[in-house]
Amino acid sequence: MSSWGNLLRISIFGESHGLGIGVVIDGLPAGRRIDFEAVSVQMTRRAPGQGSAVTPRREPDVPKVLSGLKDNVTTGAPLCCVIENTNVRSGDYSDISNTPRPSHADYAARERFGEACDMRGGGHFSGRLTAPLTFAGTVCRQILADYGVHIGGHLYSVGGVADTPFDPVNLSPALLDSLSLRNFAVINPSAETAMREHIEAARQSGDSAGGIIEAAAVNVKPGLGSPMFLGVENALASLLFGIPGVKGVEFGTGFGICGMRGSAANDAFIVDENNHITTATNHSGGIQGGISNGMPIIVRVAFKPTPSIALPQNTVSLDTQQETTVQIRGRHDPCIAVRAVPVVEAALAMGLLELYLRG
Amino acid sequence: MSSWGNLLRISIFGESHGLGIGVVIDGLPAGRRIDFEAVSVQMTRRAPGQGSAVTPRREPDVPKVLSGLKDNVTTGAPLCCVIENTNVRSGDYSDISNTPRPSHADYAARERFGEACDMRGGGHFSGRLTAPLTFAGTVCRQILADYGVHIGGHLYSVGGVADTPFDPVNLSPALLDSLSLRNFAVINPSAETAMREHIEAARQSGDSAGGIIEAAAVNVKPGLGSPMFLGVENALASLLFGIPGVKGVEFGTGFGICGMRGSAANDAFIVDENNHITTATNHSGGIQGGISNGMPIIVRVAFKPTPSIALPQNTVSLDTQQETTVQIRGRHDPCIAVRAVPVVEAALAMGLLELYLRG
Amino acid sequence: MSSWGNLLRISIFGESHGLGIGVVIDGLPAGRRIDFEAVSVQMTRRAPGQGSAVTPRREPDVPKVLSGLKDNVTTGAPLCCVIENTNVRSGDYSDISNTPRPSHADYAARERFGEACDMRGGGHFSGRLTAPLTFAGTVCRQILADYGVHIGGHLYSVGGVADTPFDPVNLSPALLDSLSLRNFAVINPSAETAMREHIEAARQSGDSAGGIIEAAAVNVKPGLGSPMFLGVENALASLLFGIPGVKGVEFGTGFGICGMRGSAANDAFIVDENNHITTATNHSGGIQGGISNGMPIIVRVAFKPTPSIALPQNTVSLDTQQETTVQIRGRHDPCIAVRAVPVVEAALAMGLLELYLRG
Amino acid sequence: MSSWGNLLRISIFGESHGLGIGVVIDGLPAGRRIDFEAVSVQMTRRAPGQGSAVTPRREPDVPKVLSGLKDNVTTGAPLCCVIENTNVRSGDYSDISNTPRPSHADYAARERFGEACDMRGGGHFSGRLTAPLTFAGTVCRQILADYGVHIGGHLYSVGGVADTPFDPVNLSPALLDSLSLRNFAVINPSAETAMREHIEAARQSGDSAGGIIEAAAVNVKPGLGSPMFLGVENALASLLFGIPGVKGVEFGTGFGICGMRGSAANDAFIVDENNHITTATNHSGGIQGGISNGMPIIVRVAFKPTPSIALPQNTVSLDTQQETTVQIRGRHDPCIAVRAVPVVEAALAMGLLELYLRG
């Protein structure tokens, strides 16, 4: 299903090549002013058309709010936002209904929905659906700001090129805020240069690159989340795996913790200079037993290389059940991770707001 | 919350030191015979007391079914299973209410629930709660077997010691079945020896070790799952992060795919010798766009080192807000990953059955 | 929340005086053709402007589908339908923000959402929100038709005037189909005349009238629904009480059964002329233990008199906390039950489809 | 499903003739002391064996709490309560697997679950399942008491005999409290005499009687509930229809409001002697637009006559598909409404606590 949450209920709709895409957000607290300039910043970060590292398609992605706001203030009623599809070239996708693109949803979706499935441009599985997700998450993030929460992310690595990782103990809200304004979000400027080169090299050879996004939320109150299946990790993972291209999610030191001994991996409790209880290290990524402990919440998300590449690829003709090749035309990001940073931030905000609303 | 699912609704209850633990499973199809010998095998795999790699506590963990079965056949009514707690030594945990154990849920849970929280032995956050989870998952697995699905897992790595990984393309049901009977589940026998040595070394130094479990399901029909937030990955991750100690979940090539180019990462469709459509590689782990494609579903789960170690650790006295140390007595596995293999398999079964029931 | 369901997830949005209202329907089976002429019939039945028994406002209520359909066939992706608000006169409602209208949601909603609540024209509580509900239910009804289910309703009574009630045992699909095309749905034509007179008399005195709608579904398979909280009655009631103005819901003989003895109230099983098992009477309304038994499902729904009346009414000024009066201008149905028949039918369809999809 | 709720998740299990029945309550706030004497009062009110108006079976119904409490205080972890079945006579029900009892769930359940369904004594559909429901509701009621909410109910009518109805405007907490201690809950003592005579007459002729329960909650804060599908009415109705034998639910003046004019039915706002905003009448039953307005919440629930009667009844042999008769032995209440008063109160408490927890 394309809906998520309980106190906060998010319902996303739309296809790449339909009239429009959008989202209904039910359960927003009333009386919160939405800053549409800040929304626009995030929509632009996610939108294509910002350089050769991303697709040359230009979509204005102007969110039109039909309900739930009065004078830009939430009324408590469901907020519906629609984004028109204005730049659709259906012809580019004529092949795919019969020859599923490798590592796209084409084949699996057809098994799921049959021939009625509309997979032009990826249909409802298109990365374009991250636009309403970004909108919804940005609204949530503004409400979380009232609780003091700051959220931001960066490209932890692209190909083999690594950015400076977050300091999981001393992670400043200011760093997250500044990253969250950047279209190519890295901490170390030289990493940007090297990552862009890596992506451009992939693009020029008709290929694509993967990447890892690291994101964080700071000033999250301790005691957020519930045991077992509604922990912070469960909630965030159930959202993050909804972003197209995600193949892995880890918190804190993540898979890296498996090679450590407990004496090194355990986060000792200390009393900090402000007499607050905190931890000396943060291998837990701010979450213990599924519940937040007040330390920065740290998550890393693995994005596969864009499956849409210009090189010809082997596939099967569904009509004839014979092997054949498919060549994907159209315009595609060589590295979806670049534009996915605001989407990951949005998912974090949605997940955390649901948990905050649970009190 | 400790409940999960919609068509299949699992509700887990109990604390380490209460009268009993258990699970209610609502939504099971009627008319399915439960093989309690096979259940017992999985309960035993999960149970402590199988050697020095695991805790010396011995708990019979006999599941008593109160409802939902008639002559061992499901009736369609909710199945409730209770497991008594018979081997409780409360005295062992007298320290922890005031001095939270590092990287345990003690501190976070207290922030969540206040002083009323019962954290003796980890309370509701205890690894012991994986017993009813294993029971529920094993019941689900037996029902999935009617659809032809086989599930199994192994210790992918412990410390730096790696087992032979699954072949993601040619993964035989027989291998999964045989792994799923083993208490120390590895493919390569020499890996077991090295892993046991690594764990024993940790134990002898009062420390603990982490590990990665790789699990798989084969013969899963293509077309399982729904877009965005009810994909196979979302469903499984929302369960897997409910297992104590899990810090990361990845599917297919997972984080490793981020360093690949699309031309290498994409799974080309081919026609196999039986004239079925399949893929030449399986970096997707059997899931594309959140939907199964018929290939083996592969997941890897990161378990942190057991946070309960014998060495003294730094913590804070909640009463005095002063730093102090805590030494954990009691009996604990030096590597929780070992006994977590059947738990991961159980979580897979629960997640997949929910999706199968959705049709 | 304005969303409902699990396998079928309906999310309704919009306010009376916003840009538009609509609904997202997630979980529709793929490959079903939607007949928009039939949809239009139901939208028109619900729409105002059909005579003096209903409000003279005319709203075209043309549903615009943004997603989820290709060539009018469901794709399996969420279907979003938007209806523009084109005939809004905000000035008519200037009083109500300070002087809550008796028996409207004004006061309760303000307590719920605070001053940010937008109650012009009833806001999100407006009867206008039954337009997307009717749309969604009509789509569901078309899918239910594939299972052979027929749904229809009529005005069981208005004021003291009663229509011929349904025969709960022999209820023909043809009768339901024909009622479901009528704007003023009664079985006995002379009842229409008397009801219209009753309503007109109320209108002319600046007042309003209540009514009871009886609706039914026939050819519903036996075995639909689940025990306790997901029975047919629970599911339908949880929807029906979402229609503005509903104060009671009863199934079968309903409250009337309380005065009967068991020997008269029990529905004896018989074998009918087609050798099918059926019941001689149908006091159960087709539902026993929450589960359908194959007999007609019969429900009656109590609608209160339109709270918007032309007569001056006592209320309180929220500013001054002093008693005062309010006079409601604007255009309102003297009897909302008349136009609510297709809405009740829609709710039935939504509820039954959710249960059918559960298998 | 036999589970309900989101913030509060109730999962009921058990069959009439299994080892035990019970409930898991997840989401209870931590730190609340449970008064088990008060629980016992409600369990006893519901339990059979209190005189000729109810069944002579005696079941101690002692709830045994396995988890979620420490020293009778909620810990925040799921609370599981088990009630053993100690007084089972399976032989009494040998007929019913082949000859479904009229107006019981036997036939419908068999269509739903097939032959595996265990319908001895009504199986999971048995009225006995109201014991854990009463337990859960009583726990919820104790927590609601911290918010000042009082809940109580009475037999509004049995057969043609009516009790004094609630005054919907001036309804004292003391009256509700005192009713909630009574096994035969009526306001007017002479009504009890007449009702008992009516029931006894039915019983002596091998028959049964129906009844209506009126229940109320006072001191409920205004602003409880959410629009459309999570209003107070939706939430309560979705629970109340889960009680065996319920065929109708109405709020405030209910079906009676349909014959009124708006000018009489509307609840004018007034300022009371304490300068609080209230309403002069309460036809709305404390709920407008689905949201509480601070007035007493009033609900009436229709219970059908006990379907288990001693008289022989017509039914069908499922084996032979021939008509036959069935005679129900065993011990049954001649009027289930009598013992259902605490069950209705329990359902109210569960529904209201879920809404309170939503904030």
Residue D287 has pLDDT above 70, yes or no: yes
- Contacts with B358 from chain C: Cβ below 8 Å: 7
Backbone φ, ψ for residue A199 (5° rounding): -70, -40
- When mean pLDDT is compared across A126-140, B93-107, B339-353, D193-207, the lowest value belongs to B93-107
- Separation in Å, CA of A268 to nearest CA in chain D: 25
Residue C51 has pLDDT above 90, yes or no: no
Backbone φ, ψ for residue C206 (5° rounding): 70, 25
Burial (Cβ within 10 Å: 0-12, 13-18, ≥19) of residue D201: middle
ipTM score: 0.96
Instruction: Determine, for residues C77 and A19 on separate chains, whether the beta-carbon distance falls below 8 Å.
Output: no
Q: Can you give the pLDDT at residue A60?
A: 66
- Contacts with B70 from chain D: Cβ below 8 Å: 116, 118
Q: Can you give the pLDDT at residue D185?
A: 98
- Separation in Å, CA of B214 to nearest CA in chain C: 31
Residues whose CB falls within 8 Å of the CB of residue A329, separated by 6 or more in sequence, listed in order: A92
Q: Tell me the mean pLDDT in the region C200-204.
A: 96
- Contacts with D235 from chain C: Cβ below 8 Å: 238
Residue A225 has pLDDT above 80, yes or no: yes
Q: Can you give the pLDDT at residue D54?
A: 60
Query: Is the alpha carbon torsion for D147, D150, D151, D156 positive or negative?
Result: negative
Identify whether the C-beta of residue B332 lies closer than 8 Å to the C-beta of residue B55: yes
Q: Tell me the mean pLDDT in the region C50-60.
A: 59
Mean pLDDT over the full length of chain B: 94
- Among partner residues C6, C77, C359, which is closest to B6 by beta-carbon distance? C6
Cα–Cα distance measured from residue A356 to residue C153, given in angstroms and rounded to the nearest whole number = 43
Q: Can you give the pLDDT at residue A17?
A: 86
- Give residue-wise pLDDT tens across range B70-110: 999 999 999 999 999 886 665 555 556 799 999 999 999 99
Residues whose CB falls within 8 Å of the CB of residue D204, separated by 6 or more in sequence, listed in order: none
Cα–Cα distance measured from residue B222 to residue A106, given in angstroms and rounded to the nearest whole number = 12
Share of chain D above pLDDT 90, in %: 86
**Closest residue of chain D to C269, computed from CA coordinates:** D315
- Give residue-wise pLDDT tens across range B288-335: 999 999 999 999 999 999 999 999 999 999 999 999 999 998 778 999
Indicate the pLDDT class of residue C89, thresholds 50, 70 and 90: low
Q: Tell me the mean pLDDT in the region C219-248.
A: 98
Cα–Cα distance measured from residue B172 to residue B218, given in angstroms and rounded to the nearest whole number = 8
Cα–Cα distance measured from residue C350 to residue C240, given in angstroms and rounded to the nearest whole number = 10
Strand bridging mode A150-158 / A211-218: antiparallel
Strand bridging mode B287-288 / B291-292: antiparallel
Q: CA-CA distances (angstroms) from residue D175 to D187, D212, D278, D350?
A: 8, 18, 20, 21
Instruction: Determine, for residues D24 and B24 on separate chains, whether the beta-carbon distance falls below 8 Å.
Output: yes
The residue assigned the tokens 């977050």 is: A166
Residue C61 has pLDDT above 90, yes or no: no
Q: Can you give the pLDDT at residue A57?
A: 52
- Separation in Å, CA of D76 to nearest CA in chain B: 6
Residue scoring higher pLDDT (A49 or D48)? D48
Helix (H) or strand (E) holding B347: helix B336-357
DSSP state of D103: T
Q: Tell me the mean pLDDT in the region C144-151.
A: 98
- Among partner residues D27, D227, D358, which is closest to A7 by beta-carbon distance? D358
The residue assigned the tokens 């007493």 is: D296
- Give residue-wise pLDDT tens across range C315-356: 999 999 999 999 998 778 999 999 999 999 999 999 999 999
- Give residue-wise pLDDT tens across range D226-285: 999 999 999 999 999 999 999 999 999 999 999 999 999 999 999 999 999 999 999 999
Cα–Cα distance measured from residue A137 to residue A25, given in angstroms and rounded to the nearest whole number = 10
Q: Can you give the pLDDT at residue B95?
A: 55
Instruction: Determine, for residues A257 and B304 on separate chains, whether the beta-carbon distance falls below 8 Å.
Output: yes
Residue C246 has pLDDT above 90, yes or no: yes
- Give residue-wise pLDDT tens across range C250-265: 999 999 999 999 999 9
Cα–Cα distance measured from residue C238 to residue C240, given in angstroms and rounded to the nearest whole number = 6
- Give residue-wise pLDDT tens across range A1-58: 999 999 999 999 999 888 999 999 999 999 999 999 999 999 999 998 766 566 555 5
Q: Tell me the mean pLDDT in the region C126-137.
A: 97
Residue scoring higher pLDDT (B122 or D42)? D42
- Contacts with B103 from chain A: Cβ below 8 Å: 262, 265-267, 283-284, 288
Q: Can you give the pLDDT at residue D119?
A: 86
Q: Can you give the pLDDT at residue C1?
A: 92
Would you tell me how many other CB atoms lie within 10 Å of the CB of residue D170? 10
Cα–Cα distance measured from residue D3 to residue B347, given in angstroms and rounded to the nearest whole number = 21
- Separation in Å, CA of D39 to nearest CA in chain B: 20
- Among partner residues D12, D68, D114, which is closest to B30 by beta-carbon distance? D114
Q: CA-CA distances (angstroms) from residue B98 to A321, B89, B323, C276?
A: 67, 18, 12, 69
Q: Can you give the pLDDT at residue D97?
A: 78
Indicate the pLDDT class of residue B54, thresholds 50, 70 and 90: low
Decide: helix, strand or coil at residue D232. helix
Specify which residues C181 forms β-bridges with: none
Exposure string of C282-293, with b = 16+ CB inside 10 Å and e = fewer, is: bbbbbbbbbbbb
- Contacts with C227 from chain B: Cβ below 8 Å: 77
Closest CA to D229 of A353, A47, C38, C240: C240
Structure token digits, residue B198: 């690594």
Structure token digits, residue C294: 């194959």
Tally the C-alpha atoms within 13 A of residue D122's C-alpha that lie toward its C-beta. Answer: 27
Identify whether the C-beta of residue B24 lies closer than 8 Å to the C-beta of residue B79: yes
Query: Is the alpha carbon torsion for D92, D95, D99, D105 positive or negative?
Result: positive
Cα–Cα distance measured from residue C319 to residue C122, given in angstroms and rounded to the nearest whole number = 20
- Contacts with A126 from chain C: Cβ below 8 Å: none
Closest CA to A293 of A230, A224, A227: A224
Q: What is the pTM of this model?
A: 0.97
Residue A157 has pLDDT above 80, yes or no: yes
- Separation in Å, CA of A30 to nearest CA in chain D: 12
**Closest residue of chain B to C77, computed from CA coordinates:** B227
Could you report how far apart the first and last alpha carbons of chain B are, in Å? 26
Helix (H) or strand (E) holding A29: none
Instruction: Determine, for residues C108 and D248 on separate chains, whether the beta-carbon distance falls below 8 Å.
Output: no
Mean pLDDT over the full length of chain C: 94
Q: Can you give the pLDDT at residue B359?
A: 86
Decide: helix, strand or coil at residue A127. helix
Identify whether the C-beta of residue B124 lies closer than 8 Å to the C-beta of residue B178: no
Structure token digits, residue C174: 């043809």
Indicate the pLDDT class of residue A120, thresholds 50, 70 and 90: confident
Q: Tell me the mean pLDDT in the region D102-107.
A: 96
Cα–Cα distance measured from residue A148 to residue D338, given in angstroms and rounded to the nearest whole number = 54
Residues whose CB falls within 8 Å of the CB of residue C201, separated by 6 or more in sequence, listed in order: none
Residues whose CB falls within 8 Å of the CB of residue A354, separated by 6 or more in sequence, listed in order: A5, A6, A7, A8, A235
Closest CA to D44 of D64, D63, D65: D63
Indicate the pLDDT class of residue A89, thresholds 50, 70 and 90: low
Q: How long, in residues, is chain B? A: 359
Share of chain A above pLDDT 70, in %: 94
The residue assigned the tokens 């559909």 is: D125
Q: How long, in residues, is chain C? A: 359
Closest CA to A247 of B239, B158, B265, B349: B265
Disruptive mutation site among B251, B304, B320, B322 for chain A (greatest number of A CBs within 10 Å)? B304
Indicate the pLDDT class of residue C99, thresholds 50, 70 and 90: very high
**Closest residue of chain B to D13, computed from CA coordinates:** B78
Indicate the pLDDT class of residue D89, thresholds 50, 70 and 90: low
Mean pLDDT over the full length of chain D: 94
Q: Can you give the pLDDT at residue B92?
A: 53
Cα–Cα distance measured from residue C343 to residue C346, given in angstroms and rounded to the nearest whole number = 5
Indicate the pLDDT class of residue D121, thresholds 50, 70 and 90: confident
- Contacts with C24 from chain A: Cβ below 8 Å: 3, 11, 13, 24
What is the torsion angle, in degrees rounded to the nearest 10, for the CA atoms of residue C25, residue C30, residue C35 and residue C40? 0
- Give residue-wise pLDDT tens across range D142-180: 999 999 999 999 999 998 899 999 999 999 999 999 999
Residue D48 has pLDDT above 90, yes or no: no
Helix (H) or strand (E) holding D353: helix D336-357
Residue D330 has pLDDT above 90, yes or no: no
- Contacts with C116 from chain A: Cβ below 8 Å: 30-31, 70, 73-76
Residue A329 has pLDDT above 90, yes or no: no
Q: Tell me the mean pLDDT in the region D31-54.
A: 87
DSSP state of D32: P
Cα–Cα distance measured from residue A211 to residue A343, given in angstroms and rounded to the nearest whole number = 14
Identify whether the C-beta of residue C258 lies closer than 8 Å to the C-beta of residue D212: yes
Structure token digits, residue D169: 């405007």
- Separation in Å, CA of C201 to nearest CA in chain A: 36
- Among partner residues D100, D221, D234, which is closest to C238 by beta-carbon distance? D234
Residue B220 has pLDDT above 60, yes or no: yes
Q: Tell me the mean pLDDT in the region C223-244.
A: 98
